[in-house]
Structure 1
Amino acid sequence: MSTTTRYLVLAMRRPDFDASVIAPHLAFLDDLRARGLLEMTGGFGDGSGGAYVLRNVASLEAAQAIVAADPLALQRTSDLVVREWHTR
């Protein structure tokens, strides 16, 4: 069975999370989706953060560069971790 490389992004809210970043973050995700780079996204049921899956990205470094432009990262309201993910 073949595998596909995707990048799982975990975004965990910091204690000083500012909800005003949500709209710019959603616009960022919409742009990624329009560019064919976003496969899925969603928030955690407990409100602690969320995750999204990047696809069609050349490398872990490229995925990290994309995530560095996320308003959640730019405004430092969440801790974002990118993991290379081999799916099948």
Structure 2
Amino acid sequence: MPNVHLTESMQAYAEGQIKSGAYANLSEVVRAGIRLLMEKDGARQFYALKADLERTALDAEAGGFEVFDAKAFEPDAFKD
């Protein structure tokens, strides 16, 4: 099991959370913090993807695209 070193203020905050009954022990506090970081990273990835899609849509609206020819791309899918 990894050792976790906290600053004095972090340790005091975690202990306060445990004393308040919000968490049973330090492991629960640390896991909650890691879950928040994971959620934040997921949100960051979502907004980066959204920005990419918005840039791509603007580029397409400005004519920066090629017409997709499905038959040329996958001719076997259109055989009778």
Q: Higher helix share goes to which structure? A: 2
- Does TM-score exceed 0.5, indicating one fold? no
Task: Output the TM-score relative to the length of structure 1.
Answer: 0.23
Structure number with the bigger relative contact order (C-alpha 8 A, sep ≥ 6) is 1
